[in-house]
Structure 1
Amino acid sequence: MSIYDPLGSKLQRTRMQTIRLTFLEIEEILGRPLPSSAYKFSAWWGNESSRKAGHTQARAWLHAGFAARVSLKQQSVEFHRP
């Protein structure tokens, strides 16, 4: 089980092609704050989920069928079905 499973579950339930969430909304879904690197580095939101890369958070949206596009300036993420 991953701390990002609630985000994956939320995305799996949506029927929308694209969903935009703020960092605050994601933190509310997770029930915990995002790590500081999520606020500082767009690479944290990369769409690579290999264990070697260490992006366990990406597995949540990738397994739900979404890819992420982050705006650090707006502190939001657009999840879209490729």
Structure 2
Amino acid sequence: MSKYQALTSHLKSQKNSYVSMSFEELERVIGVPLPRSASAHRAWWSNNPTNNVMTHAWLAAGFRTEQVDMEGRRLVFRRDPRTPEPPASKAPSGPVQGGRTVLFGVLKGELRLADGVDLTAPTGLAGMS
């Protein structure tokens, strides 16, 4: 088990799509001090999965880092919209379940659209063949 598993668990338990934390709050969650490179190099906070071991912790929770403030020692973890949400504790009824539209027939399953997607908007692909 990774020493950063506590961060994965903490982020997975969050209801909001973003979690703002100071480096000190983050250290309390993981139970160990952050490495020096976390305070010295902005790249340490990148979302590249080959970056460092802690990166795997927030990516595994379905979050990405953003708004890294090195001077203020703060950052935001934002839920990655490409990560499926955990199943709801109770099954809603009707064609929309947990914010997802249930598809039928050959497309049976679920389809999740990003917030703000307008399926009626032109795609800009008209006339292409």
Larger CA Rg, structure 1 vs 2: 2
CA RMSD of aligned residues (A): 1.0
Aligned residues: 79
Counterpart pick for 1:57 among 47, 54, 57: 54
Matched, 1:12 2:9: no
> For residue 62 of structure 1, what is the amino acid of its counterpart?
L
Aligned counterparts of 1:40 and 1:57: Cα–Cα separation in 2: 16
Return the offset for 1:37: 0.4
Aligned counterparts of 2:3 and 2:75: Cα–Cα separation in 1: 18
Structure 1-normalised TM-score? 0.90
Q: Which runs of 5+ in 1 are unaligned?
A: none
Q: More helix by proportion, 1 or 2?
A: 1
Match of 2:73 in 1: 75
Runs of 4+ in 1 over 2 A off after TM superposition: none
Structure 2-normalised TM-score? 0.59
Aligned counterparts of 1:26 and 1:15: Cα–Cα separation in 2: 17
Matched, 1:35 2:35: yes
Aligned counterparts of 2:48 and 2:10: Cα–Cα separation in 1: 20
Q: Percent identity?
A: 35
> For residue 73 of structure 1, what is the amino acid of its counterpart?
E
